[in-house]
Amino acid sequence: MISIHNEPQPTDLGDVRVANRAVVLRHIRLHAPCSRADIAARTGLNKATVSSLVGELIDKRLVRETGLTENRVGRPATMLVLDGEPYAALGLQVDADELVAVAIDLGGNRLLTWRRAFAAATVSPAETVRALAALSRRAISRVTAQGRTVLGLTVGVPGLVDPAGAVPLATALGWQDVPVAADLRAALRQPSFAVGADTVANLAALAEQRHGAYAGTTDLVHLTGGISVGAGTIAGGRLLHGARGLAGGIGHLRLDPTGPTCFCGGRGCLTALVGLPAVVCRLLPDADADGPITDYLPELERIVALARQDDPTVLSGLAAAGRHVGQAVALLADLLNPEVVLLGDHLATLAPWLLPAARATLTERTHAPDAGGCRLDASTLTTAAALGGATAALATIEAGRLPAR
């Protein structure tokens, strides 16, 4: 039985049919075109089981028969390939100044990427859920109009998210005990698909594992930037969620007891030192002269422009931020020993100026020789969390669950 990414291994034998379905799907993905007999021979499953599973998969249009047959002695065997084009999934992402929607098909192709300006931290959770629902409805209409069925939707939130898709705490948004998945499900009025939620960091890590420059890596960390810094970890090929789904909290690691106050109430937290609002406020002290910032992109572009002009204040501020990033990454490297830590969001945008100091600190601060082999790089994905949300929404199919329709 094979371990499926992002889906805990079967733990009792009642799950065997689902697991076997996943094995069949995986076999077809890796070896298509292939026959039912091939699958039975290579997996050890009996032919009746394989035929029954393939029948379901064809019925659900996850697999289709090709016109091809195998050249061999005896009755020609019909060859199977993955289908999946009729299916899509949606990922959403709440960030400092925008909502993002991404749709992909079962093959991982992006069908749409939409960004909508929205300052979630300045409005109520209910308003944010309404805006997410409106964005989802438009995206679903678009995808449905293309003849595709939406299989699921996962929203990424910068905060803690439990396995039920509720947010016990998202200090960056001012949220406490917000059942975001349930509220979004209710706002969408009886969607025919599962609506889930996870942290932006976890979803971004999933996107890295499937679609990023280090795709296929079994041990990686995506460090989200934006409004709140968090760590999404793929360990041994699977997302690390923890006992209550709350793993990944590194944003409030206290790096500097004399550092700036964080919105969590602590001092010198990683988020208060290198989060997007913190970096903008530190490097552009005039940025909020006209009132609270609701759109960080122009400010980030100003910082990039100043850095390109070798502005000494900005360069030294970015080097300091890089050292703080390096301290956090050193901790992740020693504790989790990932192959790579990828910086996302504004940390990726600012990577040319952050990475030199961050890498030097990583090497200096890790106990393992050569940082345990851990590399530090900028993510090459855009809207990684939303992409990961769509990927997560498809993972149940890959793990052997059937679409509901």
Which positions touch its own copies (CB under 8 A)?
1-3, 8-13, 16-17, 19-20, 22-23, 26-27, 30, 42-47, 49, 160, 168-169, 171, 217-219, 231, 235-238, 240-254, 264, 331-332, 334-339, 365-369, 372-374
CA distance 203 to 207: 6
State the nearest-atom distance from the C-beta of 370 to its own copies, in Å. Answer: 9
State the nearest-atom distance from the C-beta of 63 to its own copies, in Å. Answer: 17
Based on CB atoms, which residue is closest to its own copies, 89 or 332?
Answer: 332
Based on CB atoms, which residue is closest to its own copies, 129 or 201?
Answer: 201
CA distance 193 to 159: 24
State the nearest-atom distance from the C-beta of 241 to its own copies, in Å. Answer: 7
- Please, which residues have CB within 8 angstroms of residue 310's CB and are 6 or more apart in sequence? none
Based on CB atoms, which residue is closest to its own copies, 11 or 71?
Answer: 11
Based on CB atoms, which residue is closest to its own copies, 151 or 221?
Answer: 221
Based on CB atoms, which residue is closest to its own copies, 145 or 243?
Answer: 243
Based on CB atoms, which residue is closest to its own copies, 108 or 163?
Answer: 163
Based on CB atoms, which residue is closest to its own copies, 100 or 358?
Answer: 358
State the nearest-atom distance from the C-beta of 112 to its own copies, in Å. Answer: 32
Q: Are strands 98-105 and 167-170 parallel, antiparallel or unpaired?
A: unpaired
Based on CB atoms, which residue is closest to its own copies, 31 or 405?
Answer: 31
The set of long-range contacts for 13-17, using a CB threshold of 8 Å and a minimum separation of 24, is: 17/53, 17/400
State the nearest-atom distance from the C-beta of 384 to its own copies, in Å. Answer: 20
State the nearest-atom distance from the C-beta of 326 to its own copies, in Å. Answer: 13
Amino acid at 79: M
State the virtual CA torsion across 277, 281, 283, 287 in degrees, nearest 10.
Answer: 110
The set of long-range contacts for 293-302, using a CB threshold of 8 Å and a minimum separation of 24, is: 293/97, 294/97, 294/117, 294/119, 294/122, 295/97, 295/117, 295/119, 296/96, 296/97, 296/346, 297/97, 300/276, 300/346, 300/349, 300/350
The continuous run of DSSP H or E covering 176 comes out as strand 175-178
How far is CA 298 from each of CA 128, 284, 303, 317, 355, rounded to the nearest angstrom?
22, 11, 9, 18, 22
Instruction: Answer whether 131's CB lies under 8 Å from 68's CB.
Output: no
How far is CA 262 from each of CA 172, 181, 268, rounded to the nearest angstrom?
10, 27, 7
State the nearest-atom distance from the C-beta of 21 to its own copies, in Å. Answer: 10
State the nearest-atom distance from the C-beta of 196 to its own copies, in Å. Answer: 18
